[in-house]
């Protein structure tokens, strides 16, 4: 008879358990030292190894020839436990046996000594399903069981277990298994079963299983029934989820405000019998990745579990959105997801959700109104700064005459020579800042805001880069016009405001000085360099 993969490849020893070292190492050390507790409580989500570790522990405490805290798997006791022939190991499913009488039978049988093994072990799965009376019946025996009795309780919902039970057990928490660990196990099982599987397909199975090894092996079992060469397309079809490219397309339609394209894609998903609830969840997770990228900047790669190409695509989409917009989109998707879970028509609800996201005017929720107000406030601030700058520039142009400009240039040249020492200190400060500078990843977003009120400024700073060091933003550009614009206070204020809107912090502005090739900066005369910079800025310098 065919045996399911999750049963066939169930770990037999603690060292075979994947992704739970905080549990297996502690249990092995307790077995080696002989400090065996009378009651254990295993807590964790489904498919993370609670029942598996309970069975291994039951074998290990009764094994005739234990090896480094693990059962040998070869002695008579181990073989009988594996074949479920021994009566001293009792498994109870509390989901279907949750009454007082069921627990009383366990408590009465605990009074009898083991028939063959050292310990009588009671494994109670889904223990949170027991009734209040059943918990009370178990309480006294759990507190003071006979020396030869061990209770192992397993649950996915610890908050439903009475505190009196929790205080009498040694607790172990099982974590969700990582995507890489599940993918590696999938590839191992596939190799044993003589099946070829793509790495991307294994990772997709791991992502869909949500940290549960049992679910991942069950999906692999279904895929193996269809093909011996498993691809991402096979997994996508069997699991009923959208591909990563389709999710990215749907995100682009939301960002660009294209409801027609979004509805066509949803209709194609429906014709292909895709689960709308699952699709909404996948879309919510994708925008969650954008939120992490937007918030953590360079440190998001460890939390966003995608390939390198997918990560680059997500970064491009993130540049077109603010953090407030991403959170608003996630809130809207979350509300729709909850409505679907309560029985609403999933397709209609998702279509309404996408139309609201593509056209915010149709969304009358408080969150949507607040999101629109924030965008209007930012645009109003930029327009106000732009108007003030135009007024200042106009007044300056009317007042200034050619004779006055010549006199000011002469005065500036004298001040430049007199303050050479201060300028030298400034250059040294800039060099120090550049050593500690880090590239500003959201600089394209700053330029996008600048483009909203002045195409000239945006064009001047096209292809420029920016670096952050302390309180400074150092701008690197080959276009001299960019720095000419920054000489005006109104333009500097606009740049600072744009940077503050994106980063939430007020920065000082400065140039990023590129090192000259085949030139030793220490041998350059600072006065000569400053004079040259002044000439490039249109200031007449008198040589002395």
Residue 309 is predicted with a pLDDT of 80
**Which tens digits make up the pLDDT trace of 162-210?**
999 999 999 999 999 998 899 999 999 999 999 999 988 898 899 888 8
Class of the 244-363 domain?
Answer: mainly alpha
Taking Cα atoms as reference points, which of 536, 450, 533 lies closest to residue 491?
450
Tokens of 165: 């039970």
pLDDT band at 275 (very low <50, low <70, confident <90, very high): confident
**Which tens digits make up the pLDDT trace of 74-89?**
899 998 888 888 888 9
Cβ(305)–Cβ(297) below 8 Å: no
Cβ partners under 8 Å of residue 449, min gap 6:
378, 382, 498, 501, 502
**Which tens digits make up the pLDDT trace of 423-460?**
444 454 555 666 667 777 778 888 887 777 677 777 77
Exposure b/e, 153-185, CB count within 10 A at least 16 = b: bbbbeeeebeeebeebbeebebebbebebbbbb
**Tokens 């093909």 belong to which residue?**
227
Taking Cα atoms as reference points, which of 60, 46, 80, 61 lies closest to residue 16?
60
Would the pLDDT of 370 be above 80? no
CA dist list (Å): 143 to 34, 107, 165, 454 = 20, 12, 8, 75
- Range of lowest pLDDT (13-22, 39-48, 258-267, 412-421): 412-421
Would the pLDDT of 405 be above 60? no
Q: What is the 3-state secondary structure (H, E, C) of 385-442?
A: HHHHHHHHHHHHHHHCCHHHHHHHHHHHHHHHHHCHHHHHHHHHHHHHHHHCCEECCC
**Which tens digits make up the pLDDT trace of 112-135?**
888 888 999 999 999 999 999 999
Cβ partners under 8 Å of residue 162, min gap 6:
132, 135
Cα dihedral 287→301→204→126 (10° resolution)? -80
Class of the 5-173 domain?
Answer: alpha beta
**Which tens digits make up the pLDDT trace of 508-543?**
887 777 655 444 444 555 556 555 655 555 555 554
Tokens of 281: 């969840």
Cβ atoms < 10 Å from Cβ of 360: 18
Which of 70-74, 343-347, 416-420 tops mean pLDDT?
Answer: 70-74
pTM (two decimals): 0.63
Residue 185 is predicted with a pLDDT of 93
Would the pLDDT of 416 be above 60? no
**Which tens digits make up the pLDDT trace of 310-325?**
888 888 888 888 888 8
- CA–chain centroid gap for 408, Å, is 56
What mean pLDDT comes out for the span 288-311? 82
Q: What is the mean pLDDT of the chain?
A: 81
Cβ atoms < 10 Å from Cβ of 494: 24
> H or E segment at 238?
helix 232-239
**Which tens digits make up the pLDDT trace of 129-171?**
999 999 998 988 888 888 999 999 999 999 999 999 999 999 9
- What are the structural domain ranges in the chain? 5-173, 179-239, 244-363, 403-536
CATH number, span 403-536 = 3.30.300.180
Residue 395 is predicted with a pLDDT of 52
Cα-based angle 335, 341, 347 (whole degrees, multiple of 5): 80
Cα-based angle 268, 272, 278 (whole degrees, multiple of 5): 90
Q: Does 97 or 28 have the greater pLDDT score?
A: 28
pLDDT band at 373 (very low <50, low <70, confident <90, very high): low
| Helix, strand, coil % in the chain, rounded to nearest 5 | 60, 10, 30
**Tokens 């996630």 belong to which residue?**
330
Tokens of 65: 């020839």
Which of 343-357, 456-470, 491-505 tops mean pLDDT?
Answer: 343-357
DSSP assignment, residue 113?
A: P
Q: Is 157 helix (H, G, I), strand (E, B) or coil?
A: coil
d(CA 217, CA 48): 12
d(CA 314, CA 308): 10
CA dist list (Å): 61 to 84, 172, 225 = 16, 17, 38
Max Cα separation, the chain? 113
CATH number, span 179-239 = 1.10.8.60
What mean pLDDT comes out for the span 328-349? 88
């Amino acid at each position: 008879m065919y045996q399911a993969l999750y049963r066939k490849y169930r770990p037999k020893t603690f060292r075979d358990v994947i992704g739970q070292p905080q549990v297996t190492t502690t249990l092995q050390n307790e077995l080696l030292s002989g400090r065996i507790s009378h009651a254990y409580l295993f807590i964790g989500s489904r498919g993370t190894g609670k029942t598996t570790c309970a069975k291994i522990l039951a074998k290990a405490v009764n094994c005739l020839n234990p090896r480094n805290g693990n059962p040998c798997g070869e002695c008579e006791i181990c073989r009988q436990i594996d074949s479920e022939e021994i009566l001293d190991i009792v498994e109870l499913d509390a989901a279907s046996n949750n009454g007082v009488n069921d627990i009383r039978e366990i408590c009465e049988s605990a009074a009898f000594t083991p028939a063959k093994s050292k310990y009588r072990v009671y494994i109670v799965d889904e223990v949170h399903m027991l009734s209040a009376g059943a918990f009370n019946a178990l309480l006294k025996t759990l507190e003071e069981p006979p020396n030869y009795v061990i209770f192992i309780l397993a649950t996915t919902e610890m908050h439903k277990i009475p505190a009196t039970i929790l205080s009498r057990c040694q607790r172990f928490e099982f974590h969700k298994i990582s995507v890489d660990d599940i993918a590696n196990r999938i590839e191992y099982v596939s190799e044993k079963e003589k099946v070829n599987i793509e790495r991307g397909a294994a990772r997709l199975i791991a992502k869909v299983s949500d940290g549960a090894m049992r679910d991942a092996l069950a999906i692999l079992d279904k895929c193996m029934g269809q093909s011996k060469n498993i691809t991402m397309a096979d997994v996508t079809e069997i699991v009923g989820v959208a591909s990563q490219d389709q999710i990215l397309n749907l995100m682009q339609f939301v960002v660009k405000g294209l409801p027609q394209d979004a509805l066509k894609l949803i209709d194609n998903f429906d014709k292909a019998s895709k689960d709308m609830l699952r699709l909404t969840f996948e879309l919510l997770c994708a925008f969650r990745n954008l939120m992490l990228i937007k918030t953590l900047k360079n440190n998001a790669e460890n939390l966003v579990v995608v390939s390198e190409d997918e990560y680059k695509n997500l970064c491009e989409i993130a540049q077109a959105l603010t953090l407030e917009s991403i959170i608003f989109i996630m809130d809207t998707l979350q509300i729709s997801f909850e409505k679907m879970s309560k029985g609403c028509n999933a397709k209609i609800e998702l279509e309404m959700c996408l139309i609201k996201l593509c056209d915010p005017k149709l969304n009358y929720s408080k969150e949507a109104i607040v999101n629109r107000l924030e965008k209007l406030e930012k645009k109003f601030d930029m327009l106000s700064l732009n108007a003030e700058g135009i007024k200042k520039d106009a007044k300056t142009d009317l007042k200034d005459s050619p004779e006055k400009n010549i006199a000011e240039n002469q005065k500036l040249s004298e001040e430049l020579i007199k303050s050479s020492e201060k300028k030298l200190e400034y250059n040294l400060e800039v060099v120090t800042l550049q050593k500690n500078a880090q590239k500003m990843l959201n600089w394209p977003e700053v330029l996008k805001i600048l483009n909203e009120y002045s195409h000239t400024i945006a064009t001047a700073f096209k292809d420029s880069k920016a670096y952050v060091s302390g309180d400074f933003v150092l701008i690197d550009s080959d276009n001299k016009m960019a720095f000419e614009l920054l000489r005006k206070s109104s333009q500097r204020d606009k740049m600072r405001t744009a940077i503050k809107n994106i980063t939430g912090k007020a920065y000082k502005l400065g140039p990023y000085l590129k090192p000259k090739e085949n030139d030793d900066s220490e041998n350059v005369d600072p006065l000569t360099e400053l004079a040259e910079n002044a000439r490039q800025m249109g200031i007449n310098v008198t040589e002395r």
